[in-house]
Chain A
Amino acid sequence: MSESTVIGVQVSGGVLRRAELVRRGERIEVVRLEAGAAPASTAPPAVGRIAPGLPTAAEPGGTSLNGARVAAALPATDVMTRCWPLPAAAGARLRQLVANRLEADLPVPMETVVWGYRQAAGGQDRAAQAMVLAQVARSERVDQFLSSLSTAGLAVHLLTTEAEGFAGLCRHALAPGFESGDVLILAGPDEWLVGAFVGGLAVSARRVRPIAGRLESACRECRQIIAAQFQKDTLRSIRWCSAAADDPAPAMLADVCALPVEPLSVSSRLTGPGGAPLTAAELVEFGPAIGLALTEMFDRDAAIRLAGAEPTAKTESRKAIESVLARPWTCATVAGAMLLAAVGIHLGSLTWELARMKNAPGSTVALAALDQLQPDIAAMNRLKTYRIDVEGICGAVVKAVKDPVTLTGLQLSREHRLTLKGKSSDPRAVFTLADDLRASGRFKDVNPERASPAQGGDFTITAELVGVEKFSTPAWGGMRGGR
């Protein structure tokens, strides 16, 4: 089970209803719906029927959560709801405004309750007031509820209210057309769940118990609930979902309330197990549990949170990636369009470059100019190759000669052989001079010879020039006379 698997848990009338949803791209599949007896302390006092036992993770054969996130709702009887128009604000300032207002309204100390709030859409507009829905529950009751769910093997990540589950169902599971100002009724055989929506907020989730043969009484109760939440002429329509095919209640309700009652349709993105459509009976029975799972799946950060593990903060980049991955067909279309664009750009650039290159001058002009330049190039290369750097050679020799050496002759032959003649009173100086000549890098095969050591220290050093091309000059031609 991946992180996209969410379980919604709703306890009502001593029955625990559980809906397991898996998100697959844009599609949401309800993979399991179960109902069973609620653990003892989850049910509020004076509950009604007890359904057959629901297997838990603690029991043999119980369902393992395997990392699925769990969203549960505190029973409506344990929650106090307030809805006020408050000055437009956001963040910590809005929270402080709500806290002040609650402190004034509540008959118990704030320390003994937990609370949360939700602002109507557009409430951050500074120019106007915004409706804020605040819901409060006793801390003690919340702890009891959580611990009883925990004994049933359900570790709750989000504990919210039934109204939030109802709102989640309307926001994410119903077909477009359901808007603010509507009333939604999920009509089961024993209980009608009536939800009222004002300014995008589920301000009321009330239960009506119809009595067989006296449906008009239940319809009047519905009218009272509606009248308590909506001012005259602000209600637009009543949406009705019933498990029974030939239910006379919608027509009766339309008569009593003098409003159109329209059937409810489920969004195509929400399906039952295996992709089959959800039945009306399933929606009526498990609608709030499904809505809770949808709230955890899509509205985790904005939901009224009475308890549960804090949501892990997602980075903006992760949110962006998830929002992209939620639309695989859009991604595939964009990728295909980008591929086509890339191919088009590639072919276009190849064609354009080819046309430009065909019009560009070739190497003919430059090669012709190079041909004309060939004699000069050959002459230059000749100079580079054969010209002896006499100044450099003599400079290297002079640099190497140190006292007490005195040069008396320097001979540079056409075979590029250097012969130095000189005198030195110190025999070692000749070898030092030879070493220095070798170290200069201009000479090789440096060969010091002491010609006449007994006659004033005459010496001769021979060496070969390095890096000069030897040119096989012909034998000296005949002299043509002097100048």
Chain B
Amino acid sequence: MTLSPRDRRALILGGAALGLIGLYFGVLEPAGGWYARLRRQHAAQADRIREAVNAARRLASFQDQIQEWQERTGPLVPRRGYSEQITAVGGRIIAAAGENQVQLQGATPTAPTPWPDDRRLEQALIHVDGQAEWENVFKFIAALYRIEGILSVEQLELTGEGKGGPIKLRVSVSVLMTAGQPEEIRRS
């Protein structure tokens, strides 16, 4: 059988078109799909690793900061209830006053109130009255901040004659403790 040049050209073109279609569906399209899947998996795994690295960095950073604070103030999370905490903190306040030549005249705790951001915690104030030289006042306040459980100085009142003598000190510190104390203590 002989083919005319026109038929031969048509066959060649048709064969080439079929070859191209076969190449696309047999090679290019599967290869493209495989590559797209590979890229998606790679991106997902990269996100997972990025998240892990960020978490590890955050963890290390927080551990450093927490260790630094704990070296200054002791354990950060209150572990005691109202009575224990007030007793412990009160004792430490008396000791700090003695160490810094503060003539302590009184230390009065208030009843606990819930800590608004965390219902597992409570807060109470301790009002401290005393008398000391100017420089000892600040040593005493610095010592207060090293006592475990004290959150902050809430109120401070210094009164003196302005002639270099002892000054009267009235300071209120907030103390954090774990919640769950008997109801009668709250009411008192």
Inter-chain contacts of A480 with B (CB < 8 A): 108-111, 188
Chain A residues within 8 Å of chain B by Cβ, number: 53
Inter-chain contacts of B66 with A (CB < 8 A): 373, 376-377, 380
Nearest CB on A from B138, distance (A): 6
Interface residues of B in 126-174 (CB under 8 A from A): 138, 141-142, 145, 151-162, 172, 174
Q: A370-B62, A478-B111 are in contact. Are A390 and B141 (CB under 8 A)?
A: yes
Verify A482–B107 contact, CB threshold 8 A: yes
Inter-chain contacts of A409 with B (CB < 8 A): 157-160
Main secondary structure of the interface of B (DSSP, over half): mixed
Inter-chain contacts of B188 with A (CB < 8 A): 478, 480
Verify A477–B111 contact, CB threshold 8 A: yes
CB of B58 within 8 Å of the partner chain: yes
CB of A140 within 8 Å of the partner chain: no
Main secondary structure of the interface of A (DSSP, over half): mixed
CA distance A366 to B59 in the complex (A): 7
Q: A378-B118, A474-B113 are in contact. Are A412 and B157 (CB under 8 A)?
A: yes
Interface residues of A in 338-378 (CB under 8 A from B): 347, 350-351, 353-354, 357-358, 360-363, 366-367, 369-370, 373, 375-378
Identify which of A108-116, A275-283, A381-389, A425-433 touches chain B: A381-389
Q: For chain B, give the interface size range.
A: 35 or more
Nearest CB on B from A368, distance (A): 9
Contact among B59, B90, B125, B151 with A369 in the assembled complex (CB-CB below 8 Å): B59
Inter-chain contacts of B160 with A (CB < 8 A): 407-409
CB of A473 within 8 Å of the partner chain: yes
Contact among B62, B65, B125 with A473 in the assembled complex (CB-CB below 8 Å): B125
Verify A367–B55 contact, CB threshold 8 A: yes
Most buried by B among A369, A373, A477: A477
Q: Mark A389-414, 1 if CB is under 8 A from B, else 0.
A: 01100100000000000111111111
Verify A380–B76 contact, CB threshold 8 A: yes
Verify B41–A354 contact, CB threshold 8 A: yes
Closest to A413 in B: B155
Q: A390-B138, A408-B161 are in contact. List 13 more A-B contacts (CB 8 A).
A: A350-B39, A353-B45, A357-B46, A366-B59, A376-B76, A380-B69, A391-B141, A406-B162, A407-B160, A408-B159, A411-B156, A483-B94, A483-B107
Which residues in B have some Cβ–Cβ distance to A below 8 Å?
35, 38-39, 41-42, 45-46, 48-49, 51-52, 54-56, 58-59, 62-63, 65-66, 69, 73, 76-78, 90, 94, 106-113, 116-118, 123-125, 138, 141-142, 145, 151-162, 172, 174, 176, 188
Which residues in A have some Cβ–Cβ distance to B below 8 Å?
347, 350-351, 353-354, 357-358, 360-363, 366-367, 369-370, 373, 375-380, 382-383, 386-388, 390-391, 394, 406-414, 422-423, 471-474, 476-483
